[in-house]
Each structure stands twice: as C-alpha cells, then as structure tokens.
C-alpha cells in the first residue's frame, strides 16, 4: 500500500489549498494507505471520512492516523465508491482511483482492486463522476487524479450533465514501467502515442492531470 507518483502529485495540489481545507468536512473515496488522509489532517481538515473496498487499507489508514494523534477526526467505512457515504455531503471530495486501461490486473505487487480500471480505464471513474453532485455541499469541490489518456473531455461531458465543471490544476509526466504499458488496451495505446503517451527509446512516459471539480457558474 505504498504511495505512488499519483499520490504525490495529489498531495502537492492539496498543500496549495490550505485555506479551503482548514475546518472542512472531507471525504477520500478509496483511501488506500491513508497517507492522503494524514496530509489532509495536517492541513487542518475539521473532519475526515474515508472509504475503501479493502479492509486492510482501512486498518492501515486508521493505524497511521492514530500514530499521528488525529484518529478522532476520521471515520472509516468499508464499501465501493459512494455506497458507504449515502446521504452525506462534503466540503471537499478527494480521490485517486484506478484508471489504467487494461483488461485484468496490471501490477502483480498491487491488489487487484487497485488495478480495476477496466478496458477503457473508466470502470470506477464514470460512476464516481455520476454520483459526485449528490455528495458535494453547495460550495464544495472535488480534487482528483485523471489520466490524460482516458479522455478528459468525456469526463467533462458527464460532469456537465450534473451541473459540474472541471479544470486542470496540475499536469505531470510519469514514467510507465514496461510491464504496465505492455498490458494497456491496445487501441488506447495506439491512439494516445504522441499525444498523452510518449516513447523515448526503451522508455514510456504518460501525462496525468490533477483536476478540480465544482458547480458550474450560473449564467445570467
């Protein structure tokens, strides 16, 4: 359950949102190791709500927050996506969901649930986006990672249906190990080569965005 480069990029964006996080009611959907929760607690989040499908992830997160002396600010719930948070709304939603387009597990050293992006990479992303508006407070926002090679335009179209809009707040280029790129859905790899995926000699790199989602401005 070690943090990834995706985790690091997301935390860096959150560090720049200290004023928005202080005192906020925050949920992390797919809390993993708990390190993002710890970062949010350190930034002054008033109350944290964590969900994951892996019991071990929730135990790891609870242990980390207890070690840091902030466990009293966090609730941990087992379940998939929005199911454990039904009926709740949050000031800030944070997510780093599996989005790698492949049919089956991608990394042998990661749990299968952390590689279930599906053939188009959107198996979890699309239902997450479709349910987001039901869990944001009126002035709330979401911050999440989004691979560039799985079509940010499609995500924006889904969000628009629910009165939400997304903007890119950070883009990073990440190295993709050969064993992962070899499992990528072939037509996506072919389509994105030279766009969001770049091969230089034996090495492959891909762009990843951190996006901020909030209610679309009302037209007058």
What is the topology classification, in CATH, of domain 5-215? Rossmann fold (3.40.50)
Express each pLDDT in 75-86 by its tens digit: 999 999 999 999
pLDDT of 216 reads 84
Q: Where are the domains of the chain?
A: 5-215
Express each pLDDT in 100-146 by its tens digit: 998 766 665 555 555 678 999 999 999 999 999 999 999 999 999 99
Listed in sequence order, the residues at least 6 apart from 111 whose beta carbon sits closer than 8 Å to its beta carbon are: 54
Overall pTM surpassing 0.85 (yes/no): yes
Element (H, E) at 50: strand 47-52
Q: How many CB atoms lie within 10 A of CB 45?
A: 26
What is the three-class DSSP state of 35? helix
Exposure string (b/e) for 93-110, b if CB count within 10 Å is 16 or more? bbbbbbbbbbeeebbeee
């Amino acid at each position: 359950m070690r943090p990834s480069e995706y985790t690091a990029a997301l935390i860096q964006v959150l560090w720049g949102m200290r004023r928005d996080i202080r005192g906020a009611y925050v949920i992390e959907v797919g809390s993993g190791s708990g390190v993002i929760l710890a970062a949010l607690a350190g930034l002054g989040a008033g109350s944290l709500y964590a969900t994951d499908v892996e019991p071990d992830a929730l135990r790891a997160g609870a242990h980390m927050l207890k070690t840091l002396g902030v466990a009293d600010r966090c609730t941990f719930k087992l379940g998939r996506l929005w199911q454990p948070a039904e009926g709740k709304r949050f000031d800030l939603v944070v997510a780093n969901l599996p989005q790698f387009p492949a049919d089956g597990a991608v990394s042998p050293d990661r749990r299968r649930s952390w590689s279930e992006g599906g053939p188009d990479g959107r198996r979890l992303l699309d239902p997450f986006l479709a349910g987001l508006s039901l869990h944001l407070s009126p002035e709330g926002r979401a911050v999440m990672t989004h691979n560039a090679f799985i079509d940010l335009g499609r995500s924006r179209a889904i969000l628009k249906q629910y009165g939400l809009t997304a903007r890119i707040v950070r883009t990073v280029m990440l190295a993709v190990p050969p064993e992962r790129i070899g499992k990528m859905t072939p037509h996506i790899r072919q389509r994105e080569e030279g766009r969001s995926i770049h091969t230089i000699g034996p090495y492959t790199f891909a762009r990843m965005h951190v996006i901020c989602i909030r209610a679309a401005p009302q037209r007058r």
